[in-house]
Amino acid sequence: MKTKNILIHEVGPRDGLQVEKTLVPLEDKIRWIDGMINSGVDIFQLGSFVNPKAVPQMAETEKLFTHYTSSGNKPEHVIMSGLVLNEKGLDRGMDCGVEMFCMGVSASETHSQKNTRMTTSEAQTRIIAMAQKAMEAGKKVQVSVQSAFGCGFEGPIPKDRVLGIVKEYLSAGIRNISLADTAGHAHPMLVEELFKGILELDSEVELTCHFHNTYGLGLANCYAALQNGVTSFESAYGGLGGCPFTKLPAGNVSTEDLVHSLQRMGIRKDIDLTALIDVARQVGNFFGRELPGSVLKSGSIVDFKKND
């Protein structure tokens, strides 16, 4: 198991907030992101370039990128990512300084239609062209297979369908690949099977995982991914989030829970876990409810049981 260069990709500002009905003021979003930056997290997904009428929480995405990428309000090593679904979103992202574009297609035809109004094949053709355009412009690009581990509408997704999408990405020269558990159906054995399958196609591919904790297996799936070549982990403060176009939206793996687990194993001890917990507490106070994250409730034991 390789544990060097493990990256934490904070998706709270996008995936964490997109289903929340209470709109978060720009200054609060910035305060939470600043707290996460100070903790030592590596990548931040500031938002998505979607129609604000459809997802009002994302209406200020351009302002967030302008604040961080155009005004010097972030450390040089921190990367600001944005989710794009179509060409218009890509152009908007280019104009406001997105450093890393995240884009993808669903392995579920039903989810693809609900999310993009396109078939999987149609969406992938467009995504590949967008990814190549972004890479030609010198941008980092990460492409994903959504609903890779199952779909709330269709049930199990065939392995060959997932790997077929990955093959198309690789053939197009895109080698930063994410598998997203949009419906939360993943389990460790399936995680191992799919990521091993990708590595058999290209042993040097950069692998990312995105798990939802719908059925309580989020951290177990992260560990299985860690053992099978994944080096970038997407998570959200407090465990917020969920795809509004899946059958049963549920939260992401909690960032502070993920980091706590890694630190128990001696990985990413450079991240300030106290700062992560503080941000999650601020977010919970804003929404006036207890968030799903476990370490937020129980506190950390990393400092007290170093010999575990």
Give the active site residues. 243
Residues 6+ apart with CB under 8 A from 108: 120, 146, 147, 151, 153, 154, 157, 182
C-alpha span between 168 and 172 (Å, rounded):
6
50: helix, strand or coil: coil
> How many Å apart are CA 194 and CA 162, to the nearest integer?
8
Among the listed residues 74, 88, 82, the one whose alpha carbon sits nearest the alpha carbon of residue 58: 82
Sign of the alpha-carbon dihedral angle for 20, 21, 22, 27: positive
The DSSP letter of residue 251 is: P
Distances, alpha carbon 240 to alpha carbons 56, 84, 97, 194, 216, in Å? 17, 20, 26, 25, 14
> Which amino acid, 240?
L
Contact status, residue 80 vs residue 89, Cβ threshold 8 Å: no
Tallying the residues shown for the chain, one arrives at 308
Residue 65's contacts (CB-CB under 8 Å, 6 or more residues apart) are 46, 47, 80, 82, 93, 96, 97, 98
Residue in the block written with tokens 């799903």: 292
- Among 75, 70, 122, CA closest to 98: 70
